[in-house]
Amino acid sequence: MDLSITTLILLVLTPLLVWRVYNRIKARMTRQRSIVSRHYTGVLVFGAMILVPAAQLLDNITNLGALVVGAALGIGWGVWGIKRTRFEDTPQGYYFTPPMRVGILMAMILVARILYLGVEIYANQGKGIPAPKLTDDPLTMLCVGLTAGYFGLYSAGLLRWRRQVRKAIDFE
């Protein structure tokens, strides 16, 4: 087996990259201020992560099905995640603490899949094999759907909570 210097560097740097991504995601899964515009952005971005590939996959039932199944599972986990979230209404503002392990797992599933695709593209360089598109593989679509479904529903749940808090204030 002939390993080039580039391959060796990738083998050494990949665990470092995964560790850094994990730490960044973990830092976002702590108590944080609820900012309504971020929640709307989450709904829009993660909704688009489902709708854009779905529009491209109308002629590929297998991959579309994987995306839909992933989104449904992600939404289910999102409902569970919202129920496990700690919400706080303090004089300093509104805060929430998401369930750390589930959020990290959902994000790392997509990160791992994208990293795998990157390795696949690197391994096939110069072999005349075209780089795969994100929508080419059902497993990738399952991971995209799962992650987008979870975080999209979670963002929508945070918006719902803020709306309920606002209604409670209006009734007082």
- What are the boundaries of each domain within the chain? 35-171
- 80, 58 in Cβ contact below 8 A? no
Residue spans of beta strands (DSSP E) within 6-163: 32-33, 86-90, 93-97
**pLDDT (0 to 100) of residue 172:** 56
Report d(CA 58, CA 36) in Å as an integer: 33
**pLDDT (0 to 100) of residue 2:** 55
Instruction: Tell me whether residue 70 is exposed, middle or buried, using C-beta atoms within 10 angstroms of its C-beta: 0 to 12, 13 to 18, 19 or more.
Output: buried
Say what the pTM is: 0.88
Report d(CA 39, CA 165) in Å as an integer: 15
**pLDDT (0 to 100) of residue 14:** 84
Give the tens place of pLDDT for each residue, 124-159.
887 888 877 888 899 999 999 999 999 999 999 999
**pLDDT (0 to 100) of residue 64:** 97
- For the chain (length 172 residues), average pLDDT per consecutive 10? 71 86 92 96 98 96 97 98 95 95 94 88 80 87 97 97 83 59
**pLDDT (0 to 100) of residue 170:** 64
